[in-house]
Amino acid sequence: MATYSHLLIGLDLSPESQQVVDRVKQLFADRDVKISICHILEPLAFTYGGDIPVDLSDVQVQLEDQARTRLAALAEQLAIPEEDQHIVLGQPANEMRRMAKEEDVDLIIVGSHGRHGLALIFGSTSNSVLHGAPCDVLAVRIAEDD
């Protein structure tokens, strides 16, 4: 079996992201692998309140800054250098698949909440990443608090 040489971790930056980071540490701590980490922000477009456009670009910048800070804290736990920490605007599954192709990634790692039924159909980023991914995908099951 081939070993992985470049991992891409896709995080939503929720508190549960720590579980994904912990699993990566468990599985790859003693391996010589390159690890990239990303968070995909869906862009805030201009919204219109009646006839007056509202510019949300300042809010977008604030969201990016907050995401960068949170991502850096998680990346530090895995010793991921700043150049391998990515905040990207776009649709999460599409952007992760694009990054995997462009960066020659051979394993994408994402968290999965174990949704089923309609919740799976309408909102599973991990499922969307899997379909059409250019490489293997590891979905880390997120333990839900009871």
- pLDDT at residue number 132: 86
Average pLDDT rounded to a whole number, residues 18-23: 96
Contact 58, 105 (CB under 8 A): no
pLDDT at 112 over 80: yes
pLDDT tens column, 23-80: 999 999 889 999 999 999 988 765 555 566 677 778 888 999 999 999 999 999 999 9
Average pLDDT rounded to a whole number, residues 95-115: 89
Token code pair at residue 14:
């929720």
Structural domains of the chain sorted by starting position, each given as residue range(s) with its CATH number in brackets:
6-141 (3.40.50.620)
- pLDDT at residue number 146: 46
- pLDDT at residue number 136: 94
CA-CA-CA-CA torsion for 90, 91, 94, 96, nearest 10 degrees? 70
Contact 75, 85 (CB under 8 A): yes
- pLDDT at residue number 46: 54
